[in-house]
Structure 1
Amino acid sequence: MKRRVLLSAIAAGVLGSVSAGSFAQSSEFPRKSITVICPWTAGGGTDVLLRALAREAEKHLGQSINVVNQTGGAGAIGHNAIRAAVPDGYTVGMITFELNSLPPQGLVPFTYKDFDPLMRINVDPAALTVKKDAPYNTLKEFVEYAKSHPGEITIGNSAPGSVWHIAAGLMAEKTGVQVKHVPFDGAQPAVTALLGGHIKAVAVSVPEVRAQAQAGNLKILGVMDTQRDELFPAVPTFKEQGVDVEFYTWRGLALPKGVPADIKLKLADAFKKAFDSREFKEFAAKASLNLSFQNAADFNKFLDQNFKDVDAVMKSLGLAKK
């Protein structure tokens, strides 16, 4: 029932027609304020990152940028609003990881291919983290222990089907270990459970374990990134340890399909200048948000691989719609 209601609501949002007169003249763009849709609630990580970026982009576009939160359906409502917007450049959206995790579950009738990526802004890679006194100090030792104790390793996540549930599933799939996935209402409760010895590990982001790792209460065994984390340079990546895994929660900007190329170029230029600004970089650092830029072409390639990885893992976890 929940799936039918959600799909019906999304389908209703697609109906309607757009007159040719509503499209802006490219040479005059922008002539009015721009709306940026955020699929998540005000005050959350996605929202604050987007608002900080928009403040800087206004300086280069010469028009105000209004951030509008369209929430619901685990991100489905907002993502659909971006997709269904008039492709005149006056509506931009912040797309997030859930754009690739909702389709395999049959919760939305679209994929990343129905959007026109503008740029990737942020990634926070998953990190395998355990208690300080755990009997393994490397990813290899963790895998060896898990294989000799099948089903004994419990890994906490931030809800069934969440980004960190999928990260743990991908790790287990790539290393061939059997683990038990334990859901919590968010990453922080999972980290608290790890500290209390109620679970054996978490596969959440570095910012979510940073304080306890720096305090020496937890130890990070590896990060699912192409490079080591700046705050923990002694911690190797999964790839450095022989496990070919990259996995992130991510955020980026996208447009509805059909925005004229020159308008898209103006938007990309303005938001890239905003991304490069000292003010935005300082904000992101204070918020512990890992900036990671990709242009439209590279972001599209990233989305394609991420979609394939997520789809495969969700099938292995029994979360994909059959």
Structure 2
Amino acid sequence: MRHAGSHTFEDFVAAARQKTLAVGNGGNGSTWHLAAASIEEKTGLKFTHVPFGGAAPAILSLLGGHLDAVTVSAAEVSTHVAGGKLKVLAVMGDQRIKGFEKVPTLKERGVDVVMGTFRGLAVPKGTPQDVVDALRAATAKTAREQSLLDALDKQNMGYAYAEGDAFRQLMARDHATFKTLIGKLGIKP
């Protein structure tokens, strides 16, 4: 999150207590919209949510002074942060992240919000087991490729790998969290 004039997350919260701030995100119901809504829920703040067709146009609008803040992944703003145009006020991870080691987590700031994104590969039910096994092996091999790990590292993107039951549990946990939050927000499919 970033707000003009805010140097810390606490500055941002103080500004948001004075007036409703416009917070951009990657689209209505997206992970980053839900992230901002989670911050509202945990802090009692109220934002004007401004949906965009992805993080890039939201960030451009922030750079242009049309928004007060954005909720996006750190990797999506890292170039602008490095160039001194934006400042990350908090990260939504369980711990501080590479490239942003001086940026506190929301949990460190007393706001119990942890949120992020993941990618997955799925196949239709009934896919033959030999196909599932071949895809699983190819995915696991790709996930270990040094070129992938180097690219993720260069972009300050986190890395974790899970498959089978571990991945299903991750999806189930996030589904429960998002279902509750979407219900509270009144977002309709």
TM-score using structure 2 length = 0.85
SS of 1:194 mapped into structure 2: helix
- Segments of structure 1 that go 5 or more residues without pairing to the other structure are 1-127
The residue number in structure 2 matching 1:210 is 78
SS of 1:221 mapped into structure 2: coil
Note if contact 1:311-1:320 (Cα within 8 Å) is conserved in structure 2.
Answer: no
More strand by share: 1
SS of 2:120 mapped into structure 1: strand
1:262 positional shift: 7.2
1:296 and 1:239, CA in 2 relative to 1: closer, same or farther beyond 3 A? farther
Q: Distance in 1 between matches of 2:143 and 2:58?
A: 32
1:171 aligns with 2:39: yes
SS of 1:223 mapped into structure 2: coil
Taking the TM superposition and a 5 Å limit, the aligned residue runs for 1:230-269 are 230-259=98-127, 264-265=132-133, 267-269=135-137
TM-score using structure 1 length = 0.53
Note if contact 1:156-1:184 (Cα within 8 Å) is conserved in structure 2.
Answer: yes
Instruction: Point out the structure with max Rg over C-alpha.
Output: 1
1:179 and 1:318, CA in 2 relative to 1: closer, same or farther beyond 3 A? same
- Segments of structure 2 that go 5 or more residues without pairing to the other structure are none
Note if contact 1:130-1:220 (Cα within 8 Å) is conserved in structure 2.
Answer: no
1:311 aligns with 2:184: no
SS of 2:111 mapped into structure 1: coil
1:278 positional shift: 1.3
Q: Distance in 2 between matches of 1:270 and 1:196?
A: 43
Could you report, residue by residue, the CA deviation over 1:55-106 in whole angstroms, capped at 9, with x for unpaired residues? Answer: xxxxxxxxxxxxxxxxxxxxxxxxxxxxxxxxxxxxxxxxxxxxxxxxxxxx
Q: Distance in 2 between matches of 1:314 and 1:238?
A: 21
Residue among 274, 295, 311 paired with 2:163:
295
1:143 aligns with 2:13: yes
1:272 aligns with 2:145: no
Q: Distance in 1 between matches of 2:154 and 2:163?
A: 24
SS of 2:90 mapped into structure 1: strand
Amino acid at match of 1:142: F
Note if contact 2:25-2:70 (Cα within 8 Å) is conserved in structure 1.
Answer: yes
Taking the TM superposition and a 5 Å limit, the aligned residue runs for 1:1-322 are 128-131=1-4, 134=5, 136-147=6-17, 149-150=18-19, 152-259=20-127, 264-265=132-133, 267-285=135-153, 289-321=157-189
1:234 and 1:270, CA in 2 relative to 1: closer, same or farther beyond 3 A? same
Cα RMSD, aligned residues only = 2.4
